[in-house]
Amino acid sequence: MNTTLKDGMELAQAVEKLEKEKTSDALVIIAPPYTHLSKVNELIDDVKLSAQNCASEALGAFTGDISPEMLLSTGAEYVIIGHSERRSIYNEDNELLNKKMKLALSTGLKPIFCCGELLEEREAGKLFDVIREQLAVGLKDITIDEMGKVVIAYEPVWAIGTGVVASPDQAQEMHKFIRDLLIDLFSEQVAEDMTILYGGSCKPSNADELFANPDVDGGLIGGAALKAEDFLAIVNAY
């Protein structure tokens, strides 16, 4: 929940301009607030557009919600589902997120599905159990073909906005666990092809070492994306 429409459009224009100057081959996706989507879509070409969330219902009396079909009509191609803030602040559970995933995929959106453990869950040694349940339930009954349209983002909740970052070894350990879990849930091909992003206080100063890990395929960037130059530095670290 950052930027007015004017500020958001200026940021999108700056990112689009810098996208043409990037030195990496990373795919760049931006996820502005709902109010910005249509206008931002008119300003970008190489950069892809994502929404930050979507409803679990296709239409009806759900005042304030935005359906996947509405998002598609703005030009959005992706949608973030299950972000840690949606889970913690709005109590979105794995079953609800599974419903959102199925609806988004059926509508034609490409979901960026988030998972991650709390500090107390990590300290209690439950980190792998938490991620296993989030993925097993959140991705339940999604087909192998549909999984080809899914991106997964690992968000260690204890490292979001805290300035604390998972070490490269911690990030790799969990990303490798997620990839291995996808073999059990789907197939080796799904696991091999899956893009798994790291999201947790990633910034220009630490992006290099995080992205150097074999199972870290990019980043889900929050606060560091609010300055186009910082965002480009992270993109170029990939």
Q: What is the pLDDT of residue 159?
A: 85
Complete domains list, the chain, with CATH: 5-237 (3.20.20.70)
Q: What is the pLDDT of residue 164?
A: 74
Nearest Cα to 81, choosing from 103, 59, 63? 103
Rg, the chain, Cα only: 17
Nearest Cα to 128, choosing from 172, 178, 171? 178
Cross-strand partners of 114: 153
Per-run averaged pLDDT (10 residues), the chain, 238 residues: 98 95 95 98 97 98 98 98 96 98 98 96 95 98 98 92 83 97 98 96 93 97 94 95
- Across the chain, what does the average pLDDT equal? 96
92 is annotated as an active-site residue: no
Q: Which of 36, 83, 92, 175 is catalytic?
A: 83
Q: What is the pLDDT of residue 129?
A: 98
Lookup result for tokens 């087909």: 143
Q: What is the pLDDT of residue 160?
A: 79
Q: What is the pTM of this model?
A: 0.96
Q: What is the pLDDT of residue 201?
A: 86
36 is annotated as an active-site residue: no
Q: Which of 19, 117, 146, 155 is catalytic?
A: 155
Handedness of CA 129, 131, 136, 138 (dihedral sign): positive
